[in-house]
Amino acid sequence: MKSFTYERATSPEQAAAIVADRPGAKFLAGGTNLLDLMKLEIETPTHLVDVQDLNLARIDEDTNGGLRIGALVSNTALAADDRVRRDYGVLTRAIVAGASGQLRNKATTAGNLLQRTRCPYFYDTNMPCNKRRPGSGCGALAGYSRQLAVVGSSEQCIATYPGDMAVALRVLDATVETVKAGGKTRSIPIAEFHRLPGDEPQRDNTLEHGELITAVVLPKPIGGRHIYHKVRDRASYAFALVSVAAVIQKDGSGRVAFGGVAHKPWRVEAAEAALHQGSSALTSRVFADARPTEDNKFKIPLAKRTLASVIAQTRA
């Protein structure tokens, strides 16, 4: 871990201003991913701005009839919130399918969105990785890619976004609110928050340097059956091979997003009209442009089957 200086911010605007001012500065919230990566020198901030004292750990009812989740609400608190459990079950389900109790207690809502990939070539600094060291090549493309992306990947990068919470936020059409130095705020639809790797795999999302997430806003509840089905190699405490976040209405219509298959939560709204025809009809559209590797091509039938299981669960 490179040495760094540390300070605690007193307001979101001030935090944003400090980080914007220093190219090597980063925000520190829970730290559960950042410190992991700093120990390996995959992340090498020279200055950490700890945002824990900012008053961003509340969940409030929003004027639009939805919920405004503070950036620092812990994963545990968010999953346990009665309103979330009642109206946004897919979100609770996704959060508790991820990580462990210990990590969920420390990890924050904003930090969860900012998790970096678990690609093993990203994690091993002896290996080429365009995300970690742009221009060094992709070790995973012809390497061990079982966990990696099957769709939306590029010549440069086949990393997956590893999180669960954001997959649920994607079907809920959440919005990410941010503040920049000078106090300028913006709202980023979750669909536009995470990027595809393209030619710049080092950029996971569309935040600017020094832009601080302050909240995640959920629109008003949409009803329906909320299911998050995460398939992994062990029963808990593992990243998804494939996950499905679904909200399915009584008439068989609904919304579906997939985790573990791309550089971002993967949802193709245009394909959702096919949901009432069954999982095969939907997934053949969702994965029409898939370019899997030999190692991970199983994810496409697995995605179809996982969605079929979800549909069966809604009927049960």
Partner 1 sequence: MERCGEYDLSRRGVLAASAASAAITAVPLPALAADQKRDPKAMPVSFEVNGNSVALSVDPRTTLLDALREHLKLTGTKKGCDHGQCGACTVLVNGARINSCLSLAVQHEGDKVTTIEGLGTPDQLHPMQAAFIKHDGYQCGYCTPGQICSAIAVLAEIEAGIPSHVQADIASQPKPSNMELRERMSGNICRCGAYSNIAEAMAEVAGASA
Partner 2 sequence: MEFNAPAGTNLFDRAKIVGHSTPRIDGPLKTTGTAPYAYERHDVAPDQAYGYIVGSAIAKGRIVSMDVADARAAPGVIAVVAAPDYAPVGQGQGNIAPLFGGGEIAHYHQAIACVVAETFEQARAASSLIRTRYDRAPGMFDLAEAAPGASLAKGRGGKPDLKTLGNFEAAFAAAPVKLDAKYTTPDESHAMMEPHATIAAWKGDQLTLWTSNQMIDWAKSSMAEILGIKPENVRVDSPFIGGGFGGKLFIRSDAVMAALAAKATGRPVKIALQRPLVANNTTHRHATIQRLRIGAERDGRITAIAHENWSGNIGGEKGEDGTLQTPKLYAGANRLTANYVAALDLPEGNAMRAPGEAAGHLALEVAMDELAERLGMDPIELRIRNEPETVPGNPGKKFSQRNLVRCLRQGADLFGWSHRRSKPGQVRDGRWLVGMGVAAGYRGGPVQKSGARVHMGNDGQITVETDMTDIGTGSYTIIAQTAAETMGVSLDRVTVKLGDSRFPASAGSGGQWGAASSTAGAYAACVSLRRAIGAKLGFDADTATFAEGKIHLSNRTIALSDAGPMTAEDSITFGEFKRDYDVGTYAAHFCEVAVEAYTGECRVRRMLAVCDAGRILNPLSARSQVIGGMVMAAGAALMEELAVDKRFGFFVNHDLAGYEVPVHADIPHQEVVFLDTQDPVSSPLKAKGVGELGICGPGAAVANALYNATGVRVRNYPITLDKYLEGLPEPEAI
Q: Which stretch binds partner 1 (CB under 8 A): 61-69, 74-82, 250-258, 280-288?
A: 74-82
Is the Cβ–Cβ distance between 257 and 194 less than 8 Å? no
Pair of tokens at residue 289: 């442009």
Q: Which is nearer to partner 1, 113 or 274 (CB)?
A: 113
| Nearest-angstrom CA–CA distance, 152 and 149 | 7
Longest dimension (CA), the chain: 57
Answer for which of 11, 43, 57, 105 binds partner 1 (CB under 8 A) is 105
Q: Which stretch binds partner 2 (CB under 8 A): 138-146, 149-157, 185-193, 216-224?
A: 138-146
Tell me: does residue 221 bind partner 1 (CB under 8 A). no
Cβ-count burial of 142 within 10 angstroms (0-12 exposed, 13-18 middle, 19+ buried)?
Answer: exposed
Least CB distance to partner 2 at residue 279 (A): 6
Tell me: does residue 305 bind partner 2 (CB under 8 A). yes
Cβ-count burial of 2 within 10 angstroms (0-12 exposed, 13-18 middle, 19+ buried)?
Answer: exposed
Answer for which of 110, 119, 127, 282 binds partner 1 (CB under 8 A) is 127
x-marked contacts with partner 2 along 232-251 as a string, rule CB under 8 A: -xxxxxxx-x----------
x-marked contacts with partner 2 along 252-291 as a string, rule CB under 8 A: --------------------------xxx-----------
What residues contact residue 181 under an 8 Å CB cut-off, 6+ apart?
13, 16, 17, 19, 20, 21, 210
Q: Which stretch binds partner 1 (CB under 8 A): 120-128, 192-200, 257-265, 280-288?
A: 120-128
CA neighbours within 13 Å on the CB side: how many for 248?
Answer: 23
Q: What single-letter amino acid sits at 268?
A: V
Least CB distance to partner 1 at residue 268 (A): 22
| Nearest-angstrom CA–CA distance, 14 and 11 | 5
Give first-to-last CA distance, the chain, whole Å.
51
Binding-site ranges for partner 2 (CB under 8 A): 1-3, 39-41, 118, 120-121, 123-124, 126-127, 139, 142-144, 146, 229, 231, 233-239, 241, 278-280, 298, 301-302, 304-306, 308-309, 312-313, 316
